[in-house]
Amino acid sequence: MKVGLLLDSGVVEDKGYNEYTLKGAQSTAQEVGLDFTFVAPDSSSAYEEYIERLVTEGADLVIATGFRPGEAIARVAQRHPDIQFAILDYAYFPGIGCPDTMTDCYTDGGMSNVTSLMFAEDEVAYLAGVLAACMSESDTVASVAGMEVAPLIRFVTGFQNGARSVNPEVVTLNEYIPDFSDPALGKVVAQSFINEGADVLFAVAGNTGNGALLAAQEAGVMAIGVDVDQYHSYPEVRSVLLTSAMKNVDVAAAAAVRDFAAGQLTPGIRTLTIANGGLSLAPYHEWEGKIPAECKTAVEEAKAAIKNDPSITGAKP
């Protein structure tokens, strides 16, 4: 059997989603004795073509990196019901991937061969909020978020509630920006929050968020990255980066490959959590010796509490 991986358009060794998804999928395929191949599209317009190429080359499982190939995966999956598909960070609902007359895309909408690998963003954001409030000297923390959609709302809700769990009086600022590719605007928003007294910034807005991290670096205030360990992906801001709220896409991809090999990859939404290793804070790196022991303990206690009762983040239904 063969696993085919569709990377997102861009650089393969991006110290982000592409690199870590490739690492998790490829190493696990080798571990369980499956053939493996991957493709890296030149642009987002080529997703469908490249997915079809993987199918033509004999892939029995196709994994897609990130939410952008979501619509292409839906179309190709419905044309090839005997092939299994998995996609990171994209879920299908009536009207999104299947007709709005369906009850469930995965059971009666023609997508019974698709697994969506989703993340409980609120859980790792809660830990980020705990750390932010514990480290803040101004009792004001802020998040610069991308568009106001469910995953970003979970990030912001978890962050704010985590901060309040440490300091009920903490001021939590936030702005949603409907663009993941505007670092200049992200920087402007972050600067306004810094002027309002925020001394810890949580950037959850892709490249727009990188602008917020740069504002933090220039102002000398603390920051927290997102999705991957931004100590590696954005080294220019290392001096102010406490940690990053990571989606462990390597773990997600590895689990999908392992379950496929065992005949246990089922259709529907699979949620990656702190408890199953799908989410974590990155190492503290240069801040390892600067973060007080009580703050590290608070994070560890919050992690244990979330494992025991994920609803404490305030973002659970």
Q: pLDDT, tens digit, for every residue of 254-298?
A: 999 999 999 999 999 999 999 999 999 999 999 999 999 999 999
In a domain, 142, yes or no: yes
255, 289: one domain: no
82, 165: one domain: no
In one letter, which amino acid is 107? T
132, 234: one domain: yes
- Give the range of the structural domain holding residue 307, as residue numbers without chain letter: 121-247+284-313
Strand partners, 65: none
First to last CA, the chain: 38
253, 242: one domain: no
219, 253: one domain: no
162, 291: one domain: yes
Burial status of residue 47 (CB atoms within 10 A of its CB: 0-12, 13-18, 19 or more): buried
In a domain, 278, yes or no: no
In a domain, 26, yes or no: yes
Taking each helix axis from N to C terminus, what angle separates 206-219 and 183-195, rounded to the nearest 10 degrees?
A: 40
In a domain, 76, yes or no: yes
- Cα–Cα distance, 125 to 194 (Å, whole number): 20
Average pLDDT, integer, range 127-136:
99
The count of structural domains within the chain is: 2
Confidence of residue 157 (pLDDT cuts 50, 70, 90): very high
138, 74: one domain: no
The tens digit of pLDDT for each residue in 226-249 reads 999 999 999 999 999 999 999 999
In a domain, 169, yes or no: yes
- Cα–Cα distance, 25 to 257 (Å, whole number): 6
In the block, residue with structure tokens 């810094």: 194
Per-residue pLDDT at 93 exceeds 70 = yes
61, 208: one domain: no
**pTM attached to this predicted model:** 0.92
The tens digit of pLDDT for each residue in 166-204 reads 999 999 999 999 988 899 999 999 999 999 999 999 999
22, 54: one domain: yes
| Helix%, strand%, coil% for the chain, nearest 5 | 45, 20, 30
159, 70: one domain: no
128, 49: one domain: no
Q: What is the CATH number of the domain that holds 290?
A: 3.40.50.2300
In one letter, which amino acid is 185? L
Per-residue pLDDT at 317 exceeds 70 = no
Q: 254 to each of 112, 216, 231, 234, 242, how far by Cα in Å?
A: 21, 34, 23, 25, 27
In one letter, which amino acid is 158? G
The tens digit of pLDDT for each residue in 17-70 reads 889 999 999 999 999 999 999 999 988 889 999 999 999 999 999 999 988 899
Cα dihedral across residues 76, 19, 288, 212: positive or negative: negative
Per-residue pLDDT at 165 exceeds 90 = yes
Helices then strands (H, E): number in the chain?
A: 11, 14
253, 229: one domain: no
Per-residue pLDDT at 14 exceeds 80 = no
Position 152 scores a pLDDT of 93
In a domain, 207, yes or no: yes
Q: From 175, 245, 248, 163, select the one nearest 212 (Cα to Cα).
A: 175
